A and B are shown apart, each in its own frame.
Chain A
């Protein structure tokens, strides 16, 4: 990974790491993740930060055995998509032997084993 920062995204990851996660919301109630200038659903420009709800619900998951090289030492690992109401997040589900659709999770930031890069992680809540 390069040392260059990705404006909007790195700030968002840092906020989640501090427990101050947020999503962007337009005046029509569409949630999205940064960086954005416009709502991707309706094009509205009045995006405001709203706190990310405490917990989410797993909508789907997969245990990946064949990773890209950047995750070689992480495999096997579970990737999940979890619904936080205003938006869904994609991350790795850690500490759960038998994931289930519908299980409640909290989100945080941990490290990728292969490279040490920050990784969005869900844990059972």
Chain B
């Protein structure tokens, strides 16, 4: 079985661009990825593309062939939809496709246009990742769902809003020098605690912003990289995916995310490593509590121990396991369909020394990316290793 290498990456700025279409965003990101990879467009054999709310935001379904056009490639093109994990699953399928010999070079990425919907429209669009009959009809919003998990966590393990605030502060700090982040602005614990409530106990600064953006990368087989002389120092060595019951109420745990644990177990086994080998991670912190649930499910911290990790400095840039050195979804932004690929791009740059925060992890060789859909009814986990 061939290895899978990251040959080139491309990224738009993440932010508010209500006038820019999804197709324009993806055109920019995909051009960047193909240019950086240095491959001929004719060598790209497929497009695997992630998008969640295109029908609601742009009246545009069936986006994959459109995005292949925008990327200037005539190849089989498929859209993947798993809510906020849409491009995470696209990456996973691309990795499998290259490994099984179906393709040697694949363009994979995602895009989301969100800010043109406004806050109410985006809140509605995001909510449909939950169970329509039993959750949306009860008034559960996306922040509300994570608030339910936060309150359940507090009830089961303890913890305080201040612990969550330290996560937001850390991720904003990490984004200060990240030029494509939505927020390059420091915040304080007081800012988080005093922000208007969205869904208690979560406030405005516990939540990621509404974001427009796109990300893309070219994945290639080891043989292709060697044959074409492509400089691709980072490999995807592990992939895993997990699912859980759709409605929060139907799950065994309200304060744990077993879908992430399942995805991590599979990815660790695939890469032949364990959580103790991971030196940095990009995790899906759509809300501050989500980062806590992630780092516990991934095996970095025991259940109940993750909430204090940012406050204690264990997950900060100089901690034992830096989490979200890119700024995470919280500060970098969360254009839903683009997020999974973006996390992997940030991680690859961190491992190859090309990231503005690479100095924080100068000797690191192993990183993990965790991309969660909805209230973690879907999760992908990927392991990246610096192999060159």
Residues of A within 8 A of B (CB): 6, 9, 32-33, 40, 59-72, 74, 77, 79-81, 87-92, 101, 112, 117, 119-120
Contacts and interface: CB of A to CB of B under 8 A. Distances in A.
A81 B148 contact: yes
Interface of B: 119-121, 123-124, 127, 133-141, 143-144, 147-152, 155, 196-202, 245, 247-250, 254
A125 B137 CA distance: 23
Contacts of B200: 62-65
Contacts of A117: 137
Nearest to A10: B133
Given A72-B120, A90-B249, A64 B136 contact: no
Contacts of A67: 123, 139, 141
15 contacts: A40-B250, A62-B148, A64-B141, A65-B199, A66-B123, A67-B141, A69-B123, A74-B139, A79-B138, A79-B139, A81-B248, A87-B250, A89-B249, A90-B135, A90-B247
A65 B136 contact: no
Contacts of B155: 59-60, 101
Main secondary structure of the interface of B (DSSP, over half): helix
Given A79-B139, A92-B138, A68 B149 contact: no
Contacts of B121: 69
B124 A68 contact: yes
A68 B129 CA distance: 13
A81 B145 CA distance: 10
Q: 9 nearest interchain CB pairs?
A: A62-B147, A60-B152, A88-B249, A101-B155, A68-B124, A63-B200, A64-B199, A60-B151, A71-B139
Contacts of A59: 152, 155, 254
Nearest to B197: A65
B249 A81 contact: yes
B145 to A, nearest CB: 8
B123 A68 contact: yes
A18 B154 CA distance: 35
B249 A92 contact: no
Contacts of A66: 119, 123, 141, 143, 198-199
Given A68-B141, A80-B148, 16 more contacts: A60-B149, A60-B155, A61-B148, A61-B151, A62-B199, A63-B200, A64-B198, A65-B197, A65-B200, A68-B124, A77-B139, A79-B199, A92-B139, A101-B152, A112-B139, A119-B139
A90 B134 contact: yes
Nearest to A91: B138
A112 B245 CA distance: 26
A88 B141 CA distance: 18
B134 A33 contact: yes
Contacts of B199: 62-66, 79
Contacts of B250: 32-33, 40, 87-88
A79 B119 CA distance: 20
Contacts of A81: 148, 152, 248-249, 254
A74 B151 CA distance: 21
B123 to A, nearest CB: 5
A52 to B, nearest CB: 13
Given A69-B120, A77-B139, A119-B138, A90 B197 contact: no
Nearest to B144: A64
Most chain A Cβ neighbours within 10 Å, of B196, B199, B201: B199
B262 to A, nearest CB: 16
B138 A90 contact: yes
Contacts of B136: 68
B248 A90 contact: yes
A92 B135 CA distance: 10
A60 B148 contact: yes
Contacts of A70: 124, 139
Contacts of B198: 64-66
Nearest to A34: B133
B324 to A, nearest CB: 24
A64 B248 contact: no
B139 A101 contact: no
Most chain A Cβ neighbours within 10 Å, of B119, B150, B151, B254: B151
Contact of A68 (B127, B147, B196, B247): B127
Contacts of A62: 144, 147-148, 150-151, 199-202
B192 to A, nearest CB: 16
Nearest to A99: B151
B148 to A, nearest CB: 5
A39 B369 CA distance: 33
B196 A79 contact: no
A64 B197 CA distance: 8
